[in-house]
Structure 1
């Protein structure tokens, strides 16, 4: 009996252990979430793959769009070039074909006239989709639109160049001649007929405006040896060529002295090729004049700039009209200089110097007030005569200083400011200048990017950049 009881107890204990084990296993099974996490991860992965695939399709579409747009941009830029002799539409088609996009060109259109060409092109490319197809979109499309314009606007240019004595150094004059001649060729190239006028203004210590221009201004004439005006300081605050003033003619004499009775280096340049040539489109004549320029006398940048600005001011229109009537200027330039604000016309000064302002002297009126004295000083170098006829301590009685460097800088700043206020674009070139000269010229320019500080043959690059910018090509869309 005792044995049976013991066995029963053992069986009951084993049953209880087995039941508890099964209960613990069932509880573990109920708490096991590993299977549900696998399903969630699988679904998330599929969603991410779908979005990733859509992203791939979108990137591929954007790459196609970029390729189409960039090719269209390059194609219309090349086709719009006024120097392009091929058919503009053929140029666009050729660009697209060479990039493997011949079938993508939808249309091209050309609008051109005397002084402009506008080329417009549209492109479209279609490609099969990949993952976007899951959304029912079987293809992707990429399109582009481009338009380029090259317009030779009517341009009024004053080319103001330094021919002072220091230009004899370092081959500077020859470099200037080459650069200025190329500038004229570029600006007066084919397609510019009757659109671009250039006023060439050579300057040294003074500006010889020439008898033709001065015949239309009120002038107190004294002689016929040269044709420079004395301008009061007040006129440098305006671009206007004030005809309410009666200007004094500049004295004709030579200050520079080398021990001889030299007369080729007069303060007012005396030779006809040193005169202003106004409102010209004759490239041959302009280059011929440039080729004759010779370094002489001192430097008065402000006087060159004043004349350059004045020949862009509407107040000079009566001069242009008179010169047209005289047969000196082409009749197509009737009405120039046009009014400020005319959107079809660009007014610009290109101002070049190799130095900076210095002193400038005049003979006192007591010794320059009769016909005989005018003739005397035209035949005799001032210092040659003083050294032979006047005691050293008395020589200062014969002349006085009219300008110094500070005055020159101030007057230049005044006229540059007046020109910029009128919307005239000023490009300035400091050719092998010192720091002070560079600062003055940069201040005159329309912006720092309109100023070039150059050495040697770099002057040609500066003139070339300016000329091509004036005939600029721009992408409009």
Structure 2
């Protein structure tokens, strides 16, 4: 039998169709597997995020003193909540299993999952399985945190002080472990200081100035005194007097004050401990021989705000009492508050602070030092008549030095004006650590966010 060209072509066409039909199956299978694999990879990323969040929730519960049954339930509630949206179609996961590693204070979480396939089922692949693990430390490391509060006069307007107190209490309660925390209660210690025109050094005044809280200033010399009348009014009273220098006379005054100005001299921007040429500047009294009277470099006042610094402590009551006692007063010497916040967590100042409040060395393993600066005003006050650099200049220089020691700086500008906010932005360790709340709710959220950020809950793998 002989094949014509037309018959041969028809037969060849049939062969090609058969080959194409046979090859479409593996092509579809490969394409389908690629699609299903991509879907499964996306789901695995979602599960990883959910497990990370679940493990962190469980570690926080452990820090709060909850038992293991509670932490396991907490982990699975978080896990289920995150995966409950429509993006979980075809995804099936086991419950989160937790493992406690006592030696490293880590909590491991594991889940096994499977994702239903689509086109891969042509090749008999019904599902793709995967496992996800995560771990976090339930030991919170060692934290030393100094709060610096602006209590200048502007904080008395629009309920700002009341809002600050609510936010600060929230931060304390978030940061301090509750009763039953399995670690050392001194793992987290907080300190507090407030400022307005000055800082009230309280019982630490003598240690930082080398001057007694009650001190006497003396003057011995001539005084410009009134003598005879030069011109008279029509009613016979004296319009203008003659004056002359007479003396010498002795004059003295005694003042009691624990308020301090900024440190001056070569160590003004460092955390060098108080001592010779490193003392802080107290209020001083000066005699005016022209008017036969005493004045202080704080005008006629010997006071500043009433809040005395609280050095590092885990005593919740002491911290909450400090917050409750804050009252708005006077001007904004923000650089002084910044410096004192640093002093409270600096090991260089341990000769000042009592036992139990001494700061850890800068190189202490697994320890973090944090400063949280809050202000609502301009940095507008330095010691009068001193010729000292401006408050913003000093604050920036102190922040520069502080950050070289590894101190992490957060800032909160509560409706702060442009110049004040610029200082806060500069001092923050990075832009994400500079908060700008405009109302009470945002202020509370800012402090809560800071507290969560600096908690040593970290995903370890």
Of 180-189 and 216-225, deviating more is 216-225
Name the structure 1 match of 2:413: 430
Name the structure 1 match of 2:17: 38
CA RMSD of aligned residues (A): 3.8
Name the structure 1 match of 2:173: 185
1:348 aligns with 2:381: no
2:437 to 434, 451, 454: 454
Tell me if structure 2 keeps the 8 A contact 1:355–1:433: yes
Name the structure 2 match of 1:119: 107
Name the SS for the 2:406 alignment partner: coil
1:245 aligns with 2:250: no
Alignment length (residue pairs): 392
Name the structure 1 match of 2:6: 28
2:57 to 78, 92, 117: 78
- How far apart in 2 are the matches of 1:360 and 1:68? 55
Q: How does 1:389-468 map to 2 (within 5 A)?
A: 401-402=385-386, 407-457=390-440, 458-468=442-452
Closer, same or farther: CA 131–343 of 1 in aligned 2, 3 Å: same
Task: State the Cα distance separating 1:310 from its structure 2 match.
Answer: 1.7
Name the SS for the 2:268 alignment partner: helix
Tell me if structure 2 keeps the 8 A contact 1:236–1:412: no
Gaps of 5+ in 1: 1-21, 254-263, 325-330, 363-400
- How far apart in 1 are the matches of 2:125 and 2:429? 55
Task: State the Cα distance separating 1:139 from its structure 2 match.
Answer: 7.7
| Moved segments of 4+, more than 6 Å | 93-103, 126-139
Name the structure 1 match of 2:257: 226
Residues 431-462 of structure 1: CA deviation (Å, up to 9, x unaligned) = 12111211111111111111112223022222
Name the structure 1 match of 2:248: none
Q: How does 1:294-373 map to 2 (within 5 A)?
A: 294-320=327-353, 323-324=354-355, 331=356, 333=357, 336-360=358-382, 362=384
Closer, same or farther: CA 435–40 of 1 in aligned 2, 3 Å: same
TM-score by length of 2: 0.72
- How far apart in 2 are the matches of 1:73 and 1:447? 25
- How far apart in 2 are the matches of 1:173 and 1:79? 35
- How far apart in 1 are the matches of 2:451 and 2:118? 52
Task: State the Cα distance separating 1:92 from its structure 2 match.
Answer: 4.8
Name the structure 1 match of 2:198: 206
Tell me if structure 1 keeps the 8 A contact 2:199–2:259: yes
Name the SS for the 1:236 alignment partner: coil
- How far apart in 2 are the matches of 1:136 and 1:43? 17
Tell me if structure 1 keeps the 8 A contact 2:199–2:337: yes
Task: State the Cα distance separating 1:97 from its structure 2 match.
Answer: 8.4
Closer, same or farther: CA 194–41 of 1 in aligned 2, 3 Å: same
Gaps of 5+ in 2: 85-90, 217-254, 287-297
Of 130-139 and 290-299, deviating more is 130-139
Closer, same or farther: CA 202–268 of 1 in aligned 2, 3 Å: farther
Of 71-80 and 421-430, deviating more is 71-80
Task: State the Cα distance separating 1:359 from its structure 2 match.
Answer: 4.7
Task: State the Cα distance separating 1:219 from its structure 2 match.
Answer: 1.7
Task: State the Cα distance separating 1:472 from its structure 2 match.
Answer: 4.6
Closer, same or farther: CA 184–74 of 1 in aligned 2, 3 Å: closer
Closer, same or farther: CA 307–359 of 1 in aligned 2, 3 Å: closer
Residues 91-145 of structure 1: CA deviation (Å, up to 9, x unaligned) = 55677789799984595312359xx953213333578999879989898532222
- How far apart in 1 are the matches of 2:428 and 2:210? 31
Name the SS for the 2:362 alignment partner: coil
TM-score by length of 1: 0.70
Of 123-132 and 294-303, deviating more is 123-132
Tell me if structure 2 keeps the 8 A contact 1:202–1:276: yes
Task: State the Cα distance separating 1:51 from its structure 2 match.
Answer: 2.3
Residues 388-440 of structure 1: CA deviation (Å, up to 9, x unaligned) = xxxxxxxxxxxxx3367x61111111101000111101111111211121111
- How far apart in 1 are the matches of 2:457 and 2:303? 39
More strand by share: 2
More helix by share: 1
Tell me if structure 1 keeps the 8 A contact 2:414–2:443: yes
- How far apart in 1 are the matches of 2:316 and 2:137? 26
- How far apart in 1 are the matches of 2:416 and 2:404? 26
Q: How does 1:154-173 map to 2 (within 5 A)?
A: 154-173=142-161
- How far apart in 2 are the matches of 1:183 and 1:26? 93
Tell me if structure 1 keeps the 8 A contact 2:172–2:316: yes
Task: State the Cα distance separating 1:205 from its structure 2 match.
Answer: 0.9
- How far apart in 1 are the matches of 2:340 and 2:161? 21
- How far apart in 1 are the matches of 2:210 and 2:196? 21
